Amino acid sequence: MEWIDVHAHLNMLEEGVEAAIENARQAGVKKIVTIGTEPGDHPIVLEIARKHYPNVFCTLGVHPHDGKVYTPEIGRYIEEHAKDPVVVAIGEIGLDYYYNQSPKEEQIEAFRAQLAIAERVGLPVEIHTRDAEEDTIRVLKEFKGRVKGIIHCFTGTRWLAEQALDLGFNISISGVVTFRNADDLRETVKMLPLDRIHVETDAPFLAPIPMRGKKNTPAFVVHTAKFVADLKGVTVEELCEQTRKNALAMFPKIQW
């Protein structure tokens, strides 16, 4: 089996990039998408992806926490470098009203601007949303049929999942689904169509059971995948094949 971790932060891992990629390979994780979240890490994720292409790809975007620093100049940088073969999506973008590290209006402005970039360059998006479901869907509806992508590390309500699916977005599941207090999320995962699911680590965050207490790493995506396969009533092999197909359909620049 060959897995893909569609969302990890390789530049944040204590074990180091090289060790993380090798450990992932040994665990059967063939491809990793490492995520750009703010202007300072864009050159870093580009360098990582270029060095390890075609096993590692990257995204470029400004996280809602940093919405207040988003500028048209940063947008132009993202748009220019989106042409690089290693850049498979615009992200991580979205809204976060839980921490509110940037004012809501500035988050929304940056979110909308980056969705417009994704539309212009023809790339999907990786979306972060927390305690901001209604505004997230409201903004996404403005781009209905023109931008596709994934809701990454999905922890929202069934309503959010249904709305996102209706808009053509897919749902990416992290290790949170294995947590003891995630009953509602597990029920939502059960209703998701198999051809709209992805798995991810969001490493170094949110290590899945049985790896809780450790720093998350792309190799651990297999634990989340096994858990999701059980929830969906399919074999791990079936889930592996389907999530691979889903990823290649969503991120056509990924070379398998």
pLDDT digits (tens, 9 = 90+) for 186-206: 999 999 999 999 999 999 999
Q: Pull the structure tokens for residue 221.
A: 């995506």
Cα-based angle 91, 149, 156 (whole degrees, multiple of 5): 85
- Rounded Cα–Cα distance for residues 167 and 34 (Å): 25
Residues comprising the chain, all counted: 256
Task: Determine the straight-line distance between the first and last CA of the chain, rounded to whole angstroms.
Answer: 13
Residue 255 has pLDDT above 90, yes or no: no
Q: Report residue 212's pLDDT band, with 50, 70 and 90 as the boundaries.
A: very high
| Residue 71: per-residue pLDDT | 98
The pLDDT of residue 4 = 98
Percent helix / strand / coil, the chain, rounded to 5: 50, 15, 35
Residue 213, classified by CB atoms within 10 Å of its CB into exposed (0-12), middle (13-18) or buried (19+), is exposed
Q: What is the per-residue pLDDT across 157-176, written as a single tens digit (0 to 9) for each?
A: 999 999 999 999 999 999 99
Q: Does domain 3-250 have CATH number 3.20.20.140?
A: yes
The pTM of the full predicted model, rounded to 2 decimals, is 0.98
Q: What are the phi and psi torsion angles at 125 (to 5°)?
A: -125, 155
Q: What are phi and psi of 59, to 5 degrees?
A: -120, 160
On whether the CB atoms of residues 63 and 74 are closer than 8 A, the answer is no
Looking at this protein, which amino acid is placed at residue 191?
A: M
Over residues 10-68, the pLDDT tens digits come to: 999 999 999 999 999 999 999 999 999 999 999 999 999 999 999 999 999 999 999 99
User: Is residue 185 predicted with pLDDT exceeding 90?
Assistant: yes
Structure-token pair, residue 214: 């450790």
What percent of the chain lies above the pLDDT cut of 70? Answer: 100
φ/ψ (deg, to 5) at 150: -125, 145
Output the six-digit token pair for 2.
């060959």
